[in-house]
Structure 1
């Protein structure tokens, strides 16, 4: 939809699309509350500001909507379709899929949450390299990286909701 349609669509119809970008009610509510937007830059600026303010619980909630890197999300939901597209750099070679599965397990054991990376445009090898590097982070550093990756994904997805 274009910005004019975004501004005029009833909130209850927009809420699912925004939650597919970032499943944090406070973020969705903030975006809806500030309509109408004069331009996409204003929408993006507010979305970015609120994303930067998410607390740890909100980040954890948002992570629950994200599949593991290398998993093939099933279904026709917006989130599943976007995840399949975003992870298009993950090929079907068994060694790559196994390395991702092993890395995901190590990451989840280490940090207690899914490994999140803005995968758009990345190869499987790039994702694996990032995963291995991030396994060396302390908890605070990794929490900051996860927050930034979530922010990038949410803003990228928002551009899929509101098309120029």
Structure 2
């Protein structure tokens, strides 16, 4: 789609087309739609990022909590969103050894216990070892640091999803 076509979409059609960008959080795309017209796709991304940055703390936490755990229950019972399923598979999270599976579950539990939301990383930009290393390292973050890191990772995820959707 060209930016002119994106700008011309009615708000509901804009959300229908791009609501998947943020995991179970189409409200971000809905709010960004009101900031049109966009001069470029980068402006669209920036508008969505501004919605997230300007959201109340509780809404940012809802966004974080809307994400699935990596190699977690949703992956096992096949209830991940299509995008999340493809992303986790791209990092090999659908092909874990028993030891890797146990390590992911232990780190997921420790992370969620510490921060109250699942570990979020742009899995398409790393691999299993990188993810596990980041899970360990980020357990040492403060809550403020980790919220900022997780939101930045969501920005990377959205960038890649949008790029794919417009390819």
- The answer to whether the superposition gives a TM-score over 0.5 is yes
The Cα offsets for residues 98-144 of structure 1, whole Å up to 9 and x where unpaired, read as 11111001111111111111111311111000000011112222222
For residues 143 and 40 of structure 1, what CA distance do their matches in structure 2 show?
Answer: 26
- 1:112 is matched with which residue: 96, 113, 116? 116
- 2:145 is matched with which residue: 141, 148, 156? 141
Contact 2:7 / 2:38 at 8 angstroms: preserved in 1? yes
Contact 1:3 / 1:37 at 8 angstroms: preserved in 2? yes
For residues 82 and 24 of structure 1, what CA distance do their matches in structure 2 show?
Answer: 14
RMSD over aligned CA atoms reads 2.2
> Unpaired runs of 5+ in structure 2?
none
> Unpaired runs of 5+ in structure 1?
none
Matched pairs, number: 159
- For 2:56, the equivalent position in structure 1 comes to 55
TM-score after normalising by structure 1: 0.82
Contact 1:110 / 1:135 at 8 angstroms: preserved in 2? yes
- C-alpha change, 1:112 and 1:44, in structure 2 (3 Å) is closer
Contact 1:3 / 1:39 at 8 angstroms: preserved in 2? yes
- C-alpha change, 1:33 and 1:10, in structure 2 (3 Å) is same
**Runs of 4+ with deviation above 6 angstroms:** none
Going by fraction, where is helix more abundant, 1 or 2? Answer: 2
Specify the SS of the correspondent of 1:120: helix
Contact 1:63 / 1:114 at 8 angstroms: preserved in 2? yes
Q: Structure with the greater relative contact order (CA < 8 A, sep ≥ 6): 1 or 2?
A: 1
